[in-house]
Amino acid sequence: ELWQRFPGRGTLGADEKESIMISSYPQCNDAYKNIAVEESMEVTKKVISSCRSLRASYQITNKTLTKFYIKAGENVDAIKSQSDDVKTLGKASSVDVNIEESKIPKTVGIDIIDDQTTVLMDIKGLVDFDAEIKKLEKNLGK
């Protein structure tokens, strides 16, 4: 098995087991925990989830890259530092964080994550607006 071929095997002395199957489960080392990084990653996961949700709600395929605009409050640094991950995992052509309101097009889909974070996706040329209006009116009638 691969575990037996990892570098460093054979350096743990008499406590080292022959197989991962009979080894004890690894213990968490609190010294390696970083609460700020974990919180930053949670924010990033929510933004990526929102991007994917917007794409799904407008039935945009993964092949089509979209442009996202993110409005953020106190989480702005976390989102900016992870914008490449948002771009890759959200299937975006670009991700702009806290740009001027006048630079955001009027043709956007909106998903509100929380009271400080909103994701907007430019849908111009990607969505048939008449069909979308009919779908929304049908949903209102239910």
102-114 pLDDT tens trace: 999 999 999 999 9
Contact (CB, 8 A) for 109 and 119: no
Band (pLDDT 50/70/90 cuts) for residue 1 is low
* pTM to 2 decimal places: 0.76
Does residue 70 contact residue 122 with C-beta atoms inside 8 Å?
Answer: no
Give the model's pLDDT for residue 3.
67
